[in-house]
Structure 1
């Protein structure tokens, strides 16, 4: 594979700075411990309260980080956010520099869930953490100042996969309702690990080897089998009807591009309102790790879609 010539020229400098790494057990902890690539968060934009709430039955408590724009009172719409990290990395605080400006701009509350990571916790533990956090958020909406009719779920990468799985779980359990799902290059399909390689996608940032590691860690076995639940791999869902309005964005060179386009197509065929963006020359996480025009456009499109969904 050689897709470098297809990378947007404004996104190439970052690739020259970053070593090409594929995840393994040997380097996982070092990757978890690496310093953030983002500047410090601007804490003047949003307040933060951390609530420790009951986890799933028989499981540990979980932390919910509740952000609110500074100086704004009254009842606000809410984004329930699930961070990325290939199912094996990441924590809520990593995203502080990204979410605080978003919250201030959109004048909304964000609740971000600190779910358990694989391989220490396999499916269904992490998605049940996400559901338990959502249930607590809705139950305490009044005291948090949240309008539960304007609450949707958002995630990037593995967080996008969990967000899509959570939307399926919410629909199927019938206890709550979501206003939208906002999926940024979501990790949706374990079968990508066993499919024929895409000739140009997945060379940078998140590779096929890392993908196999992430899915194997979450599932506790090799990916690609018929027995994988749609609450782990949402692309396995046979019925996509009655899901909330959906935003999906990905880069044309992202390993997930095919599964994301396919999921959007199937949602449309199921009667779900869908907005799909595929950014030429974009590799995985190009919108947050780089700052060229295509990254800026992706962030603008995402912010404006969230603004409409929250309205």
Structure 2
């Protein structure tokens, strides 16, 4: 494991020991402030469990760190099909555990730990909340799920409709392929650590912010997961974003600006749960 740099420096990349090997991690420091030192957001990248999308996510995470005054830890978790489920889940939990142990070197006081992610990363964030509860730590202050993939059965209406529409058929097929490679054992598709939407125990979880995009194949499962979390007694905030001009443009789907409604919602969620 490499040593981390002094917390007063610029953004840094380093390697940590994951569940079964090295995990590359990048630290984005928010503007120096008490809030940034109090709060750490571990954010998992998209990429359908099969693509390392950390580099493409860097500009968005830099905007988010600055706008929300938060330090962000972005790990590159294990990818399928070389190492399928539950390898990425175990890497995610290993990173959260290491973050707590290495908090001084991260420039973090260890006060508030959030988890978040986009699409496949949103799945890992939601699952991390379940795993941290089940394994009794680390304690999470909240979870930020952006267009999360939480239903490996692909039964939600928006996903089924997307498969029949020309504009969204490719996206639906990409999601199906990702799950097929990530979950080669069909029985795992209903495992709560693979499909949080199908978890039978959703109580005692940290507050959640769930972000949907109109017309996105993943929208209905995000809405359904929010409903199930509420029914289980958890606090849930939701925001629905308008569809991008070209829903097939993955860069547009995952882009952020400082005045983006998604960033505003994240900032308020972090403030409310610190």
Answer yes or no: same fold by TM over 0.5.
yes
Could you tell me which of 64, 70, 84 is aligned with 2:25?
A: 64
**Structure-1 separation of matches of 2:263 and 2:65:** 13
Asked whether 1:267 is paired with 2:229, we answer yes
**Residues 98-156 of structure 1: per-residue CA shift (max 9 Å, x gap):** 11122122222111111111111100111111111111001111232213231110100
Residues 21-42 of structure 1: CA deviation (Å, up to 9, x unaligned)? xxxxxxxxxxxxxxxxxxxxxx
Match of 1:75 among 19, 27, 37: 37
The 3-state SS of whatever aligns with 2:105 is helix
Render the CA deviation track for 1:41-93: whole Å, top value 9, x for unaligned: xxxxx82222322121xx11212212223555783311011001111113322
Rate the CA distance shift 1:288–1:53 in 2: closer, same or farther, 3 A.
Answer: closer
Native 8 Å contact 1:160 1:183 kept in 2: yes
Q: Structure 1 residues 200 and 124 mapped into 2: Cα distance closer, same or farther (>3 Å)?
A: closer
Q: TM-score, normalised by structure 2?
A: 0.84
Residue aligned with 1:231, SS: coil
Give the alignment's TM-score, normalised by structure 1. Answer: 0.74
Q: CA separation in 2, counterparts of 1:69 and 1:229?
A: 36
**Does structure 2 retain, via aligned residues, the 8 Å contact 1:123–1:218?**
yes
What does residue 96 of structure 1 align with? Answer: 58
Aligned 1:140-219 pairs, distance under 5 A: 140-192=102-154, 198-199=160-161, 203-204=167-168, 207-219=171-183
Where 1:262 maps in the other structure, the secondary structure is: helix
Q: Could you tell me how far 1:94 is from its partner in structure 2?
A: 2.0
Instruction: Give the equivalent residue in structure 2 for 1:240.
Output: 202
CA distance, structure 1, for counterparts of residue 181 and residue 99 of structure 2 = 28
Q: Determine if the alignment matches structure 1 residue 306 to structure 2 residue 270.
A: yes
Q: Give matches, 1:5-20, under 5 Å.
A: none
Does the C-alpha gap of structure 1 residues 102 and 133 become closer, same or farther in structure 2, counting only changes over 3 Å?
Answer: same
Q: Is the 8 A contact 1:81 1:153 kept in 2?
A: yes
Q: What is the alpha-carbon distance in structure 2 between the residues aligned to residue 241 and residue 214 of structure 1?
A: 28
Moved more, 85-94 or 236-245: 85-94
Sort the Cα spacing of 1:70 and 1:206 in 2 relative to 1 into closer, same or farther, 3 A.
farther
Spell out the pairing of 1:283-294 with structure 2 (5 A cutoff).
Answer: 283=247, 288-289=254-255
Shift of 1:162: 0.6
Quick one: distance in 2 between partners of 1:127 and 1:200? Answer: 27
CA–CA separation in structure 1 for the residues paired with 2:156 and 2:215: 18
CA distance in 2, matches of 1:280, 1:117: 30
Number of residues paired by the alignment? 258
Contact 1:153–1:180 (Cα < 8 Å) also in 2: yes
Match of 1:220 in 2: 184
Q: Secondary structure at the match of 2:125?
A: helix
Task: List gaps (5 residues or longer) in structure 2.
Answer: 1-8
- The residue aligned with 1:138 is 100
Q: Does the 8 Å contact 1:241/1:270 carry over to 2? A: yes
- Write out per-residue CA displacement over residues 174-225 of structure 1, whole angstroms, 9 at most, x where no aligned residue: 0321000000000001111697954368743862211110001101244xx4
Is the Cα–Cα contact under 8 Å of residues 47 and 69 in structure 1 kept in the other structure? Answer: no
Counterpart-to-counterpart distance in 2, 1:215 and 1:237: 17
Distance in 2 (CA, whole Å) between partners of 1:260 and 1:194 is 10
Paired residue for 1:47?
10
Change (3 A) 1:194 1:96: closer
